[in-house]
Structure 1
Amino acid sequence: MDEFGETKKKVDVGVILDLNSLVGSVANACIPMAISDFYAAHPFRTRLSLHVRSSDDVLAAALQQRVPHSTTQNPFFVRTALDDSSQAKAIAAIIHAYEWHEVVLLYENTEYGSGLIPYLSDEFQRFDIRVSSRFSVSTNYSNLTILKMLNNVMAMQTRVIVVHMTSSLGSKLFFLAKEATMISEGYVWIITDGLSSLLDPMGAEIIGSMQGVLGIRPYIPQSKRLEKFKKKWKRGIHSSSTKLNIYGYWAYDTVWALAKSVEMVPHKSSGVTRRSNRRNASQIPEIRVSAIGRSIRNEIVKKKFKGLSGDFSLVRGQLQSSAFEIINVVDKMEKVIGYWTVENGLTAELGKPVKATYSTSYHELKPPIWPGNTKAKPRGWTIPVVGKKLRIGVPVKPGFDAYLKVNRDPYTDEFIVTGFSYDVFKEALALLPFAVPLEPIPFPIGNDTGSGTYNELLYDVKLQKFDAAVGDITILANRSRYVDFTLPYLQSHVSMVVKIKDDGRKNMWIFLKPLSWDLWLTTGVAFICTGLVVWVLEHRINNEFGGSARQQVGTAFWFSFSTLVFAHREKIISNLSRVVLIIWIFVVLILTQSYTASLASMLTVQRLQPTVVDVNELKKNGDFVGYETGSFVKDLLVKQLDLDESKLKNYGTAEEFDEALSKGSQNGGVGAIFGTQHCVELFLAKYCNKYMTAGPTYKTDGLGFAFPQGSPLVAYISRAILSVTENKLKMDALEQKYFSQLKPCQIGSERTTISSDSLGLYSFGGLFIITAVASVCSLIIYFTEFLQSPWNAAHTVHDSSVWSRISELVKYLMANLLHKVS
């Protein structure tokens, strides 16, 4: 009966709690408060009657085994707490944001502990996060056993540790981890909500051992109703050691949802039926089954209201999370540094409009304090105390030490590798989110017994004799069939090196070189033709072009060639002559200016001319050709450039290059040497006054590092190489370290071959065409006007035939053209 004397329908509800745990004790205290508060505010006709049993009771244990732990396995199972998949997304987002790629999992060896692992594995896989090791910790482990396990973790390279345990086991773990000096700089500890939600009840001593730990827990929005409940809790009879947590809020809201649902269900029957359990009748008493259970379940999944924990809303029988708090343990206190939501990802504040993009940057969070009381973001790995090292095949060959050099330490007998290529590789490794200890193994390149080639080194990588090959290795398509290359750290190509010709300034006929022979010839013909055109247009009307035949020829040629220096004195009368002359003077001006500039350049600037222009000249001369020892250049010369293999010689050092080129092909040397860009540049830097590159270059994909096909390191190191090569300060420092002594010869400068220093006819073809068109058009107009009068006169004779008119015109033309010739 209620306070008005009305009889209320009693609905029996069984409650199973672990009364010995923080979760169970708080829930056991919050449930009666929920009953009291609900029926004080809602005078319903029904009333819940709760029957609490401890989880260690025989009947309760049996019932607990029958309750599935997934809402998808049994439609009658409703979870009013968050499932593990929600926090798995948040944890993976944090690890991804801080750019850590390997983690260690420490979890409790119970159904609670192992239940999160599948969800974490799925989320980690989405972000390419690898679980390097898993350690299950039993609640029965002694302190010594846990310390041994922690020592195993300490010996590994991974320093990002995710802990998923109950508060009782987790508090013991962190206390021992502090003793083992693992709550220190370089470590990252991330705890799940099982620990984050119960930090306060653990006490100051345990929290003090968790300095710098990150954790996530469901976000509880503040409300007046929640504050009122907290005050009521403090005024209650609860001991000071029992402190509120989110599990109490969920228990409170669950009771309200159940009470609301029960009120909506009709109660015409007795409400229960009896079912006998014959198999275990001696251990488990008869179980009563609700006859209205399905109706209650259908009502409870539809309930939506504001509870103590926030919005109470079930989707497919599962409570939905709104957000997770990200906390940082600092000075024995919990500091909220940000939030994670499904819509926005990581964010510093809640309540803002939904962003257009999902944030995955840790810069959205407030800066945390890490273990060791440092603000610097841990890199998440360290060099392991024990473990397998990466076997690196390093090509060793004499010469070109600036890129790679291998020495043996006389004291430790270990190989010491230096050089530009190896330092770029080490810089890339330093940017990886995990440690990669190296064991360099020399691989001789050359002609000696036991030496090999670059191709053989890469094939050993395919056979997994080496875990990688590091050096000045050119990326080629045929090599990528059996190894995987990183992105190139240096661009490269193959070029031809030849001797430089003597300086052309010592030639007594150098004044003829500015123009090619065809241009000289065309210019001369143009002078003659222009003089003749002007003579034709002027000699009938201009006395200065008259006189004897010899005088007229001399005047025509003199006038034409005098325009070269603008020294002509003859007066021009015909407008047609003026048009021709204006165009011709413009052409002469262009020619003279170009000739002067070219000749001045030849006389003042040293011209580097190659002794051999291209491969075709080498073939024609039958010259011997050199190439780098052990490189792919030999295949390029034979297969692509079609050179005779018997004409090829290999050389390994810059000194050998110099000696072979100095001798020449006729004296036991070579006419040219082909090499990759980085070797050619080093060679030219040392002998820049004797040799130069000539002919076309043959492009490659650059220099890179090789790994076995499918190696996961390729993607990591490729991204790291981009960061290194884009860092101008870093690259400048490496170049200064290895190439500073080569500055006088300007390593890397382009020394392109000039195919011909002379100006060609094609460059001035347009000018000559314009001159020719102007001259022809002027002659056509002249002759049209000249022949018009006699043709008309001959046409007036009636009995004249066409042939007779033509005869008269020829006579007239000869008489008038030779009129001035006397």
Structure 2
Amino acid sequence: MIGIFSVRSVDLIKNLEVQAIIIGPESSMQAKYAMNLGDNAQVPIISFSTTSSSITTFPTSYFFRVAQNDSSQVKVIRSIIQNFGWSEAVPIYVDYEFGEGVIPYLTNALQEVDIRIPYWCVIPSMASDDQIVAKLHQLMTMQTRVFIVHMLPSLGSRLFAIAKEMGMMGEGYAWITTDRMTNFFGSIKSSVTDNMLGVIGLKSYVPNTEELEHFKLRWQMKFQKDNPTILNVKLDVFGLWAYDAVWALAMAVEKVRAANFNFQKLNISDHSTNILERLGVSQSDPELVQALSSTVFRGLSGNFSLLYGQLRSTNFQIVNVNGNGEREIGYWTLQEGLVRNLNSTSRSTNTSRFSFMDANAFGPIIWPGDTITTPKGWEIPKHGNWMRVLVPVNHGFQEFVRVSRAPATTFSGYCIDVFTAVVERLPYEVSYEFIPFERPNGDPAGSYDDLIFQVFRGNYDAAVGDLSNRPNRSLYVDFTLPYTDTGISMILPVKRSKSSKNAWVFLKPLTWEVWLLSVCFFIFMGFVVWVLEHRINKGFRGPLQNQIGTSLWFSFSTMVFAHGDQLVSNLARFVVIVWCFVVLVLTQSYTASLSSLLTVQQLQPTDVSLLLKNGDIVGLQEDSFVQGILEQVGFYPDKLRTYNSIERLHELFEQGSISAAFDEAPYMKVFVSTYCSKYTVVETAFSKTDNGFSFVFRKGSHLTRDVSGVITNLQKEDQIRTIEDKCFGKQAICMGPNITGSSNRPLTLSLDSFWGLFLIAWLSSSLALLIFVAMFLYQHRHILICSDPNISFWRRICILLQMYDQEDISSHTITLQESVHSLVAVESSASSPRPLSSHSSQTASNIIVLEMQERLSTRLGDLNPNGQTTQEIA
């Protein structure tokens, strides 16, 4: 065919010296040959039927495509798939450039919106019926039920005929055809369209105008006159593009109006074997090409304009094949996307892959199987009528999966109940059967990785159980969202502190430095208060032992705030206020630490680094991926002990074989809830992981997405928690708050925690003492500044100390009444008591003052051998 095409084209240029050629090649190879021919002869080649996207990879100035590029419809296909919420589609195309050229564009367009292409179905151009049957049978075994057909009508009609025989044109299937096949619907036999009922097709949109109707009528009469035996033939869009191409070329020639449309012969040897090199070169080249590129007019097919030698993309019409042929259901435009009518300004915004069809985007659609129900776009491949679900056999943690065989095989447990609840909430019916993953003797048939590999190989459709998503597993199968707690937990036994059984535990809260400093400060504070109160407070006077006892009792009684004596000095009150604050902080801290020593449960150690440092042995479940994580952290294999049930794990702890255990959070939650008060969960550095128990489906399964959505809804509605309480007997209430940190061991309070408080107490007490001493020395400064050289400094200090030891009668706290009572008591001891009148009371007061003055004068006289009077000394 290409040979005949090339001979005719060369003959037109060489012998007739044509200035342009309008062609309609049936293949891309013919189009490429025409492109080379035009380049060599510098003659515009105009094609009205070449749609292959591969042509755009060979740009040339002399080739014009007055037809829609196949790649222009990939966005239309993407919008249709999005609108119906389909997440996968399988392209079916022919195995030469026409079919393969559009695949890269289609793949990119679908992947931009996360629509998967699980398989590319390539049909040979000369395929037999048996080959087509084999390809379609392979598609039937897959989940995807959305197919995009891109091929010529001759092969496509055979494909749909065989698909109908195989039952693939029934309910649940969705077929989309590209414009190359849909554009010929008007000219193909009705028997062909009968095999395509329910198909959605794309057509290049041609506006219906009065001029177009008149042209079709004239063309129909002309065609019928020339071909009286051919009936019911309609003019398709390719004929309209050919008509517009002729008009465009005619308008370009009128613009050029070249006087010389001749060819220039090239000096090529007659012995040259390349026929293209022996052609002449058109002299009207630049002008005609430029005129054709700038030609714009309103043609029969719509607005005509070329961009880089290509017809500008126009709108697409979307049709649905039914019993009457085809029926328009919507449009697609560059500006609005999917719309019901072109005059509608409402745009289809339903592009979510998780929702169904937007009623505003299309008119009523009859789908394959003569149904109006929108296909899901996928179907679970079934062995018989049931989805085969593989279930692990776990003899240990049967709270999650339990397989009972008496009297019949039954499946129960937390994972089974959650899966059943999820399937019941799906918007469609899913039939399934559980199959245990076991050997004939009832033992597990392999590890969990082996179980997942069985799903990957297609032996089973899904797996349900205590299965976690791991990076190596997700390469082979799909996991849903987790329906349990995620992460890895560390379990530690709860122990009572050994210190709580020690008779001297009350000394543990404080270090010996704090105890010693506290005792010193109590004595120091008693001394400070005694100094400040001795001269003016009778409670701090009397015999020496009484004064010492009173001062110490007052100081130590501040521990329980039982100091009852009223302080007189403001300085003493200030000191005691500060000291009471220090005592309050000290006693409260001591109480808290002692309480923790007596009551707090001890977890030692509570950090992975301490386990590694101490060389402790830890436990983990058999065949668990946790072993790899622990070895990466630094645990040697000889430091790991395995268990296969919660009872065995409890035995390992009771025997002291392990110090801690690591496992997935759901297992540890059941373990701790079973042994409520003996163990607790501790968070570690690698506890936060994304793995949790999930359901497993074959790679690309649509159930993965839908089941994940239902799991999310059940978690929001707290239904997962209800199932958990049902399966675990509401034992989760035993789960206390997780402990975070390296240790919860009560701390012994050291001097570092209190040195600031003691410093404040010492500074305040010292300041009060300095103020008191300064005031006392100032009050008796006449003694210090005495000019008698015979009185030494130490003698003066002794006099001051003797004066300090006596009551300060000038203080308002030592009243005259108290002095009277003292005097009365003295006189009554020498003679019989007699009542005193008010005059006698005043006389007694004067006597006391005179006695004190005499005593002071006598003492000063002893200090003054020269006979100086007290006034002279002053």
Please state which band the TM-score falls in when normalised by the shorter chain: 0.5 to 0.7
In the alignment, the residues of structure 2 paired with residue 599 and residue 329 of structure 1 have an alpha-carbon distance, to the nearest angstrom, of 86
Q: Secondary structure at the match of 2:361?
A: coil
TM-score for both structures, normalised by structure 2: 0.64
The answer to whether 1:782 aligns with 2:768 is no
Instruction: Tell me the residue number matched to 2:744.
Output: 755
Pairing partner for 1:546 from 535, 541, 548? 541
Pairing partner for 1:366 from 354, 361, 364? 361
Pick closer, same or farther for the CA change 1:79–1:534 going to 2, 3 Å.
same
- Measure how far apart 1:298 and its partner are: 2.1
**Structure 1 residues 317-328: aligned runs within 5 Å:** 317-328=309-320
Pairing partner for 1:574 from 569, 591, 599? 569
TM-score for both structures, normalised by structure 1: 0.67
Pairing partner for 2:327 from 308, 320, 334? 334
Instruction: Tell me the residue number matched to 1:683.
Output: 671
Does the 8 A contact of 2:79 with 2:337 survive in 1? yes
In the alignment, the residues of structure 1 paired with residue 137 and residue 629 of structure 2 have an alpha-carbon distance, to the nearest angstrom, of 55
- Measure how far apart 1:322 and its partner are: 3.9
Pick closer, same or farther for the CA change 1:123–1:572 going to 2, 3 Å.
same
Q: 1:755 corresponds to which letter in structure 2?
A: N
Structure 1 regions of 5+ residues with no counterpart?
1-15, 17-47
Pairing partner for 1:313 from 285, 305, 310? 305
Q: Secondary structure at the match of 2:327?
A: strand
In the alignment, the residues of structure 1 paired with residue 341 and residue 807 of structure 2 have an alpha-carbon distance, to the nearest angstrom, of 106
**1:125-173: CA deviations, max 9, x gaps?**
665733514242658966x876665445334433121112344554554
The answer to whether 1:534 aligns with 2:524 is no
Pick closer, same or farther for the CA change 1:634–1:820 going to 2, 3 Å.
farther
Q: 2:381 corresponds to which letter in structure 1?
A: I
Q: Secondary structure at the match of 2:244?
A: helix
Instruction: Tell me the residue number matched to 2:119.
Output: 132
The answer to whether 1:247 aligns with 2:238 is yes
Structure 2 regions of 5+ residues with no counterpart?
6-17, 38-44, 225-230, 809-874
Does the 8 A contact of 1:694 with 1:752 survive in 2? yes
- Measure how far apart 1:77 and its partner are: 1.4
Pick closer, same or farther for the CA change 1:52–1:719 going to 2, 3 Å.
closer
Q: 1:775 corresponds to which letter in structure 2?
A: S
- Measure how far apart 1:511 and its partner are: 11
In the alignment, the residues of structure 2 paired with residue 382 and residue 481 of structure 1 have an alpha-carbon distance, to the nearest angstrom, of 20
Pairing partner for 2:212 from 215, 218, 229? 229
In the alignment, the residues of structure 1 paired with residue 137 and residue 449 of structure 2 have an alpha-carbon distance, to the nearest angstrom, of 43
**1:421-455: CA deviations, max 9, x gaps?**
99789989x99xxx9x99999599xxxx9999889
Pick closer, same or farther for the CA change 1:102–1:335 going to 2, 3 Å.
same
The answer to whether 1:498 aligns with 2:496 is no
Q: Secondary structure at the match of 2:648?
A: helix
Look at both structures and tell me which one has the larger radius of gyration over its CA atoms: 2
The answer to whether 1:628 aligns with 2:616 is no
Does the 8 A contact of 1:500 with 1:609 survive in 2? yes
Instruction: Tell me the residue number matched to 1:217.
Output: 203
Instruction: Tell me the residue number matched to 2:822.
Output: none
In the alignment, the residues of structure 2 paired with residue 168 and residue 74 of structure 1 have an alpha-carbon distance, to the nearest angstrom, of 31
- Measure how far apart 1:571 and its partner are: 2.6
**Structure 1 residues 371-386: aligned runs within 5 Å:** 371-372=368-369, 373-383=371-381
- Measure how far apart 1:83 and its partner are: 1.3
Instruction: Tell me the residue number matched to 2:811.
Output: none
- Measure how far apart 1:499 and its partner are: 4.8
Pick closer, same or farther for the CA change 1:528–1:185 going to 2, 3 Å.
farther
Pairing partner for 1:401 from 394, 398, 402? 398
Instruction: Tell me the residue number matched to 2:861.
Output: none
In the alignment, the residues of structure 1 paired with residue 804 and residue 246 of structure 2 have an alpha-carbon distance, to the nearest angstrom, of 128
Does the 8 A contact of 1:627 with 1:650 survive in 2? yes
In the alignment, the residues of structure 1 paired with residue 494 and residue 640 of structure 2 have an alpha-carbon distance, to the nearest angstrom, of 18
Instruction: Tell me the residue number matched to 1:33.
Output: none
Does the 8 A contact of 2:306 with 2:312 survive in 1? yes
- Alpha-carbon RMSD across the aligned residues, in angstroms, is 6.4
Pick closer, same or farther for the CA change 1:630–1:242 going to 2, 3 Å.
closer
In the alignment, the residues of structure 1 paired with residue 601 and residue 64 of structure 2 have an alpha-carbon distance, to the nearest angstrom, of 88
In the alignment, the residues of structure 1 paired with residue 159 and residue 722 of structure 2 have an alpha-carbon distance, to the nearest angstrom, of 50
Please identify, of 159-168 and 184-193, the stretch whose mean Cα deviation from structure 2 is larger. Answer: 159-168
**Structure 1 residues 462-501: aligned runs within 5 Å:** 489=482, 490-501=485-496
Instruction: Tell me the residue number matched to 1:22.
Output: none
The answer to whether 1:659 aligns with 2:634 is no
Pick closer, same or farther for the CA change 1:329–1:747 going to 2, 3 Å.
farther
Q: Secondary structure at the match of 2:730?
A: helix
Does the 8 A contact of 1:790 with 1:812 survive in 2? no
Does the 8 A contact of 1:344 with 1:359 survive in 2? no
In the alignment, the residues of structure 1 paired with residue 805 and residue 635 of structure 2 have an alpha-carbon distance, to the nearest angstrom, of 66
Q: 1:259 corresponds to which letter in structure 2?
A: A
Instruction: Tell me the residue number matched to 1:43.
Output: none
Pairing partner for 1:85 from 67, 71, 92? 71
Pairing partner for 1:304 from 288, 296, 303? 296
In the alignment, the residues of structure 2 paired with residue 408 and residue 758 of structure 1 have an alpha-carbon distance, to the nearest angstrom, of 55
Q: 1:84 corresponds to which letter in structure 2?
A: D
In the alignment, the residues of structure 1 paired with residue 611 and residue 281 of structure 2 have an alpha-carbon distance, to the nearest angstrom, of 99
The answer to whether 1:194 aligns with 2:185 is no
Pick closer, same or farther for the CA change 1:610–1:376 going to 2, 3 Å.
farther
Does the 8 A contact of 1:395 with 1:443 survive in 2? yes
- Measure how far apart 1:299 and its partner are: 0.8
Please identify, of 319-328 and 118-127, the stretch whose mean Cα deviation from structure 2 is larger. Answer: 118-127
Pick closer, same or farther for the CA change 1:438–1:95 going to 2, 3 Å.
farther
State the percentage of identical aligned residues.
30
Pick closer, same or farther for the CA change 1:408–1:549 going to 2, 3 Å.
same
User: Which of the pair is proportionally richer in strand?
Assistant: 1
**How many residues are treated as equivalent by the alignment?**
733
In the alignment, the residues of structure 2 paired with residue 777 and residue 617 of structure 1 have an alpha-carbon distance, to the nearest angstrom, of 49
